[in-house]
């Protein structure tokens, strides 16, 4: 007959109660949902404290090796008690880590740090179990494994450097996906992927560059997308001293005010950087809404520098290598060069590109000059202008909305821009209010001046209708760059024919327009 005494003694042992309590704690730990982190921690602490009290009463020390004088069954139970005690201690510490190791508004970094700490806790638990439950000489094991760790570290030092740099970059978060960054060595691009090993950039040339994280951390990185998407730029220009520096600075301010590709808040800045007998060097500082607009803004700035400078008689400085005669700079602000002539602006307007040189000269001879004071309304929204206006000097702002509270600026016109072509040719009203932002001088071409050309060449109406249907003015019919007119080419052709075959002279000249009209431009 089998002797069941030892087995019964084993089940009745107080150590078995601790083992049962530890196993029950494991079951409860896994049953409580992860979203109830606080409740899970409380339950775990209750089981851990209960086990600790029982262990102390039985004088079992979890952090001491086994004495070796226990029976086999007793040694097994003591080993299970120690193992479960260390597991519950680790889980209690992990519960504290999950709840209290947090970063406000940075959940990704907090989770990463929690995982690192949890890994350390589990490593310590494993080493403690090996040392105090299984009596493994951990010191010797660590020393032996340390040699292999050093060898492995030397072999994988670059990879490990990338990994730890990746951890540092993920904790610091100097950039995120979608940010445009530039390294101190000049490499730049948009971040499209980042991991433990490397960071991948999409360059302006549309290539993917994989940069090791250790390289990024070592070289240094500038985040061009922070703190927001706007980006500062600076353009340097050299102007001849055909006018006083104050006048040239005011002209450059006009350049920045009329630019549609840059932000007006914060205000752009004009600064003189150098001055000598031959030229003045000026730096234009401004910001764009996003990095994608850098090239567009720079191109527009250079174009406006030429147009505004030409309109007031300021010349670009010749390069140092050019052979020029240096004259004394003026002291009274009198220009030594001419502004835009009417023929210069007419040749640059697309709707007049089909005219011959002789026809353009005739049209230029019929132009008149009109000026507006700052704040004058050039045209109301919906008003049909019977004349085409070409900006010779100053800035005109386009606005939507009638009341001051609802006014929305949609663009600005600079020297060389034009408006009113739909009213002149097709009798269509302006879709935005035009207001003089500064003192403005315009060339005016009315229907009476243009009618003889169209009557002499009726086929020109077809070309004009095609050009208008593509929306060739600076802001199209709706004030949005590049937007086409809603009217079809056929409808515009009919409108042009109707305007120039039925409109009497009184319709053209009878309306009083704001502004001061002068004689025709010579």
Work out the mean pLDDT of the chain and round it to a whole number.
78
Residue 161 lies in a domain: no
CA distance 257 to 268: 8
pLDDT at 171 over 80: no
Q: How confident is the model at residue 157 (pLDDT cuts 50, 70, 90)?
A: low
Residue 244, domain extent: 231-312
CA distance 511 to 505: 11
**253-275, pLDDT tens digit by residue?**
999 999 999 998 889 999 999 99
Residue 426 lies in a domain: yes
- Averaged pLDDT, 169-188: 82
Contact call for residues 200 and 255 (beta carbons, < 8 A): no
State the Cα angle at 164 between 158 and 169, rounded to 5°. 120
Q: What is the CB-side half-sphere exposure of residue 127 using CA atoms within 13 A?
A: 12
Q: Are 388 and 475 in the same domain?
A: yes
Q: How many domains does the chain have?
A: 4
Q: Are 368 and 417 in the same domain?
A: yes
Q: Which of 163, 194, 223 is the last residue of a domain?
A: 223
Residue 46 lies in a domain: yes
**435-453, pLDDT tens digit by residue?**
999 999 999 888 887 778 7
CATH of the domain at 401: 2.60.120.10
Q: Are 489 and 365 in the same domain?
A: yes
Residue 432 lies in a domain: yes
Residue 382 lies in a domain: yes
Q: How confident is the model at residue 403 (pLDDT cuts 50, 70, 90)?
A: low
Name the residue with higher pLDDT: 321 or 178. Answer: 178
Q: Are 475 and 515 in the same domain?
A: yes
- Averaged pLDDT, 358-385: 88
Q: How confident is the model at residue 326 (pLDDT cuts 50, 70, 90)?
A: very low
**Which residues have CB under 8 Å from 378's CB, separation 6+?**
372, 389, 396, 434, 435, 436, 440, 442, 514, 515
Q: How many residues does the chain have?
A: 522
Q: Are 219 and 236 in the same domain?
A: no
Q: Are 476 and 515 in the same domain?
A: yes
**Which residues have CB under 8 Å from 166's CB, separation 6+?**
194, 195, 196, 197, 198, 213
Name the residue with higher pLDDT: 116 or 361. Answer: 361
- Averaged pLDDT, 149-155: 64
**294-320, pLDDT tens digit by residue?**
899 999 999 999 999 988 888 888 877
Q: Are 505 and 398 in the same domain?
A: yes
Contact call for residues 208 and 192 (beta carbons, < 8 A): yes
pLDDT at 10 over 70: no
CA distance 194 to 168: 12
List the one residue out of 332, 418, 325, 330 whose CA is nearest residue 378: 418
Residue 202 lies in a domain: yes
- Averaged pLDDT, 399-410: 76
pLDDT of residue 302: 94
Q: How confident is the model at residue 386 (pLDDT cuts 50, 70, 90)?
A: confident
CA distance 284 to 270: 5
Q: Which of 59-68, 305-314, 512-521 has the highest mean pLDDT?
A: 305-314
Look at the alpha carbons of 94, 96, 100, 105 in this order and tell me if their dihedral is positive or negative: positive
**pTM confidence score:** 0.62
**71-116, pLDDT tens digit by residue?**
777 778 888 888 888 888 888 888 888 777 766 555 665 676 778 7
CA distance 224 to 229: 8
Name the residue with higher pLDDT: 320 or 8. Answer: 320
pLDDT at 218 over 90: no
Contact call for residues 37 and 59 (beta carbons, < 8 A): no
Residue 112 lies in a domain: yes
pLDDT of residue 476: 46
Q: Are 114 and 258 in the same domain?
A: no
**456-481, pLDDT tens digit by residue?**
777 777 777 777 776 544 444 434 34
Q: Are 409 and 444 in the same domain?
A: yes
Q: Which of 226-230, 248-252, 401-405 has the highest mean pLDDT?
A: 248-252
- Averaged pLDDT, 268-294: 91
pLDDT of residue 3: 42
Q: Are 353 and 500 in the same domain?
A: yes
Q: How large a percentage of the chain has pLDDT more than 90?
A: 16
**480-503, pLDDT tens digit by residue?**
344 444 446 677 777 777 766 644
Residue 163 lies in a domain: no
Q: Which of 293, 312, 331 is the last residue of a domain?
A: 312
Q: Are 214 and 252 in the same domain?
A: no
pLDDT of residue 522: 40
**98-110, pLDDT tens digit by residue?**
777 766 555 665 6
- Averaged pLDDT, 22-32: 84
CATH of the domain at 197: 2.30.30.60
pLDDT at 191 over 60: yes
Name the residue with higher pLDDT: 42 or 68. Answer: 42
- Averaged pLDDT, 177-190: 88
Q: How confident is the model at residue 511 (pLDDT cuts 50, 70, 90)?
A: very low
């Amino acid at each position: 007959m089998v002797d069941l005494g030892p087995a019964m003694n084993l089940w009745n042992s107080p150590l078995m109660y601790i083992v049962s309590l530890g196993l029950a704690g494991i079951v409860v730990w896994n049953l409580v949902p992860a979203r109830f982190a606080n409740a899970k921690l409380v339950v775990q602490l209750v089981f851990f404290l209960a086990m600790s009290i029982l262990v102390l009463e039985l004088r079992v020390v979890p952090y001491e090796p086994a004495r070796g004088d226990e029976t086999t069954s007793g040694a097994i139970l003591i080993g299970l008690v120690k193992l479960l005690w260390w597991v519950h201690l680790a889980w209690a510490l992990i519960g504290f880590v999950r709840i209290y190791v947090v970063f406000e508004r940075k959940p990704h970094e907090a989770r990463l740090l929690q995982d690192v700490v949890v890994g350390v806790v589990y490593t310590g638990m494993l080493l403690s179990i090996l040392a105090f439950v299984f009596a493994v000489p951990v010191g010797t094991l660590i020393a032996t494994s340390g040699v292999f760790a050093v060898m492995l570290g030397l072999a994988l030092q670059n990879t490990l450097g990338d990994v730890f740099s990746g951890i540092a970059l993920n904790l610091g978060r100097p950039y995120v996906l979608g940010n445009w960054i530039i390294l101190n060595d000049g490499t730049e691009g948009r971040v499209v992927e980042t991991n433990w090993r490397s960071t991948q950039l999409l360059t302006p040339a549309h290539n993917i560059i994989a940069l090791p994280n250790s390289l990024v951390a070592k070289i240094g990185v500038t985040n061009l997308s922070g703190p927001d998407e706007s980006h500062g730029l600076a353009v340097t220009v050299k102007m001849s001293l055909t006018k006083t520096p104050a006048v040239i600075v005011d002209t450059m301010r006009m350049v920045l005010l009329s630019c549609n590709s840059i932000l007006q808040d914060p205000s752009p800045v004009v600064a003189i950087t150098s001055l000598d007998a031959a030229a003045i060097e000026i730096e234009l500082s401004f910001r764009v809404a996003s990095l994608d607009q850098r090239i567009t803004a720079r191109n527009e700035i250079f174009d406006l520098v030429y147009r505004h400078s030409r309109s007031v008689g300021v010349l670009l400085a010749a390069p140092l290598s050019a052979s020029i005669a240096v004259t004394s700079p003026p002291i009274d602000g009198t220009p030594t060069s001419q502004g835009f002539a009417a023929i210069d602006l007419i040749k640059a307007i697309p709707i007049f590109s089909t005219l011959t040189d002789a026809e353009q000269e005739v049209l230029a001879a019929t132009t008149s000059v009109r000026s507006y004071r700052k704040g004058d309304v050039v045209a109301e929204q919906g008003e049909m202008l019977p004349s085409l206006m070409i900006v010779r000097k100053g800035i005109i702002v386009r606005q939507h909305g009638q009341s001051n509270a609802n006014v929305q600026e949609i663009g600005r016109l600079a020297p060389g821009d034009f408006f009113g072509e739909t009213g002149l040719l097709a009798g269509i009203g302006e879709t935005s209010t035009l207001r003089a932002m500064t003192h403005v001088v315009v060339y005016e071409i009315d229907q009476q001046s243009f009618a003889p050309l169209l009557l002499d060449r009726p086929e020109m109406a077809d070309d004009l209708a095609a050009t208008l249907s593509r929306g060739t003015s600076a802001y199209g019919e709706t004030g949005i760059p590049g937007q086409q007119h809603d009217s079809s080419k056929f409808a515009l052709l009919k409108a042009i024919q109707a305007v120039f075959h039925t409109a009497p002279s009184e319709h053209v000249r009878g309306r009083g327009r704001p502004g001061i009209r002068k004689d025709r431009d010579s």
